């Protein structure tokens, strides 16, 4: 594991812009940290050594000329493997896209570059972002930096592990049902899922188009806010991006928890819902908020558990449509043509190129969209989606923020959830934010009890706010972060 000093994005950018450090020095340090740690963690599938150094030299030249290189000058950022970059290959963790080179950058990558950030490499993910452990990756399992016998969470496990291990100060991922927040919880870092439409999805390889959202992993709430400010805003290339001023995400300064109404849904803390260590951490956070004058409001969200079944109808339905484009004809993997016809070529290409979890979800999605089942499953799921959104709207009338655990448990052992249903339940507290289109963030709040080998794992707290209320969400989260003072130094 790397012993390199950990710096935040803000610290790095200020030092580079002020001439105290060069971007080249930052990138050399980052590449050394990746070389030292990646073999044991497998967070990065591909590292842009030469491209990153060349970009760093250009940034240093700007500084030397007295030009402003941007708010993220010299900051190395990991890019999840389902977000397009012109550097390297974009594979979505799948053999069906192995070797694919994108001719364009995703909008978020363009905007990061425009402010001086340096894409440092591609982070591993569950294939096509379908998973909660980053074990469903064609390029190897990612391991948790706090305990390499455990998963990092998923699907953005590579990005979370890259930040949690200290290899990079920031990475970006995508969140369709918890794929930023859950791995952030498991890896002890900050993971932000913005409101649907806050950040452009242009260049994100689609999984569930009405659910997907890009967001950052960082060490601090301040850094997460900075990356959101840079990445967010209207994009004419994404018709679902919202015309909301990005300046609105700036957190309300010096938020005082006194008087804030913090809603705690009873479904998130009911007896037996969480592992004892997770529940104890939530109870401790609630007690701290109360000691600072915050008002704890009991909230009822009866459709919490219904969200899982709703999500696993809507998301696979959208995936079955989105992944139909991967046929091996125009790009990506193609099976050997034995002359049996185009339909058979399609079938063999997808059977050989897609992994079992992707195949499972595509078949499920095709089924719920098929004639005779559409009304019974897909249409009903959309109706329940509306009810879930209404439930959140009612909740936010009586509280400012919702609080609970990010996951019912800490990072589980590799291979510890072989049953798909038990894996799907990992996201019970996170999927409804995507279904409702609201914003949420996970921050590290404590550690579980040491196991027989003395190893402990982070516990994340999940905060949610109404759509486009990132300012309130990040202000409260930053205030809580100061109180919790989580130490992200890895053991040993």
Give the CATH number of domain 1-492. Answer: 3.90.1300.10
| pLDDT for residue 336 | 87
Contact 42, 140 (CB under 8 A): yes
* Catalytic-labelled residue, pool 132, 133, 155, 442: 155
| pLDDT for residue 1 | 53
- Tell me what the mean pLDDT of segment 131-147 comes to: 97
| pLDDT for residue 382 | 98
* Catalytic-labelled residue, pool 165, 179, 241, 407: 179
Contact 250, 244 (CB under 8 A): no
End-to-end CA distance of the chain, in Å?
8
Nearest to 132 by CA among 98, 96, 166, 182: 182
- Tell me what the mean pLDDT of segment 163-172 comes to: 98
| pLDDT for residue 252 | 61
- Over residues 202-247, the pLDDT tens digits come to 999 999 999 999 999 999 999 999 999 999 999 999 999 999 887 7
pLDDT bin (cut points 50, 70, 90) of residue 330 is confident
pTM of the model: 0.96
Contact 239, 265 (CB under 8 A): no
Instruction: State yes or no: is 239 an active-site residue.
Output: no
| pLDDT for residue 286 | 97
pLDDT bin (cut points 50, 70, 90) of residue 249 is confident
- Over residues 456-477, the pLDDT tens digits come to 999 999 999 999 999 999 999 9
**Average pLDDT of the chain?**
95
Rounded to 5°, the CA angle 480-486-492 comes to 170
Report the range of poorest mean pLDDT among 166-180, 273-287, 316-330, 457-471: 316-330
pLDDT score of 253 more than 90: no
pLDDT higher at 337 or 110? 110
Report the range of poorest mean pLDDT among 31-45, 137-151, 317-331: 317-331
pLDDT bin (cut points 50, 70, 90) of residue 5 is low
- Tell me what the mean pLDDT of segment 366-375 comes to: 94
Instruction: State yes or no: is 179 an active-site residue.
Output: yes
351-357 contact pairs (CB < 8 A, 24+):
352/95, 353/94, 353/95, 353/96, 353/326, 353/328, 354/94, 354/95, 354/96, 354/127, 354/323, 354/326, 355/94, 355/95, 355/127, 355/136, 355/138, 356/136, 357/126, 357/127, 357/130, 357/131, 357/136, 357/420
The percent of residues in the chain predicted with pLDDT above 90, rounded, is 88
* Catalytic-labelled residue, pool 37, 80, 156, 472: 80
pLDDT bin (cut points 50, 70, 90) of residue 255 is confident
pLDDT score of 2 more than 70: no
């Amino acid at each position: 594991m790397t012993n390199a000093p950990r710096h935040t994005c803000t610290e790095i950018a200020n030092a580079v812009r002020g001439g105290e450090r060069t971007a080249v020095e930052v990138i050399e340090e980052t590449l050394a940290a990746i070389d030292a740690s990646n073999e044991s963690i497998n967070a990065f599938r591909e590292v842009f050594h030469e491209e990153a150094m060349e970009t760093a030299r250009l940034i240093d030249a700007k500084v030397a000329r007295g030009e402003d290189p941007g708010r993220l000058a010299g900051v190395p950022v990991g890019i999840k493997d389902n977000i397009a970059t012109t550097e390297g290959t974009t594979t979505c963790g799948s053999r069906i896209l192995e070797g694919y080179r994108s001719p364009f950058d995703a909008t978020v990558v363009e905007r990061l570059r425009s402010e001086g950030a340096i894409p440092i490499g591609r982070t591993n993910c569950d294939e096509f972002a379908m998973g909660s452990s980053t074990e469903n990756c064609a390029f190897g399992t990612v391991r948790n930096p706090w305990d390499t016998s455990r998963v990092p969470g998923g699907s953005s496990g590579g990005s979370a592990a890259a930040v949690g291990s200290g290899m990079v100060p920031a990475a970006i991922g995508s969140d369709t049902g918890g794929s930023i927040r859950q791995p952030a919880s498991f890896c002890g870092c900050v993971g932000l899922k913005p409101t649907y439409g806050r950040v452009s999805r242009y260049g994100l390889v689609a999984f569930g188009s009405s659910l997907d959202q890009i967001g950052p992993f960082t060490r601090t709430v301040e850094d997460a806010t900075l990356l959101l400010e840079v990445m967010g805003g209207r994009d004419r290339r994404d018709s679902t991006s919202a015309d909301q001023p990005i300046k609105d995400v700036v957190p309300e300064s010096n938020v005082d928890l006194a008087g804030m109404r913090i809603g705690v849904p009873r479904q998130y803390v009911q007896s037996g819902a969480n592992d004892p260590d997770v529940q104890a951490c939530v109870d401790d956070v609630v007690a701290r908020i109360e000691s600072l004058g915050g008002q704890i409001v009991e909230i009822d969200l009866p459709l919490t558990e219904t969200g899982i079944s709703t999500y696993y109808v809507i998301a696979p339905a959208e995936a079955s449509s989105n992944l139909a484009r991967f046929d091996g004809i125009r790009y990506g993997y193609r099976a050997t043509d034995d002359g049996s016809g185009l339909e058979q070529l399609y079938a063999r290409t997808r059977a050989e190129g897609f992994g079992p979890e992707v195949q499972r979800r595509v078949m499920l999605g095709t089924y719920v969209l098929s004639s005779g089942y559409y009304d019974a499953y897909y249409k009903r799921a959309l109706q329940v989606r509306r009810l879930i959104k209404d439930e959140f709207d009612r909740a936010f009338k009586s509280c400012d923020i919702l609080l609970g655990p990010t996951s019912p448990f800490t990072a589980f052992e590799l291979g510890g959830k072989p049953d798909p249903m038990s894996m799907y339940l990992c996201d019970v507290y996170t999927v409804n934010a995507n279904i409702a289109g609201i914003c949420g963030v996970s921050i590290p709040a404590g550690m579980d009890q040491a196991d027989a080998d003395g190893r402990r794992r982070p516990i994340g707290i999940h905060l949610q706010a109404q759509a486009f209320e990132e300012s309130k969400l990040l202000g409260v989260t930053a205030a809580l972060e100061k109180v919790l003072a989580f130490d992200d130094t890895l053991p040993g």
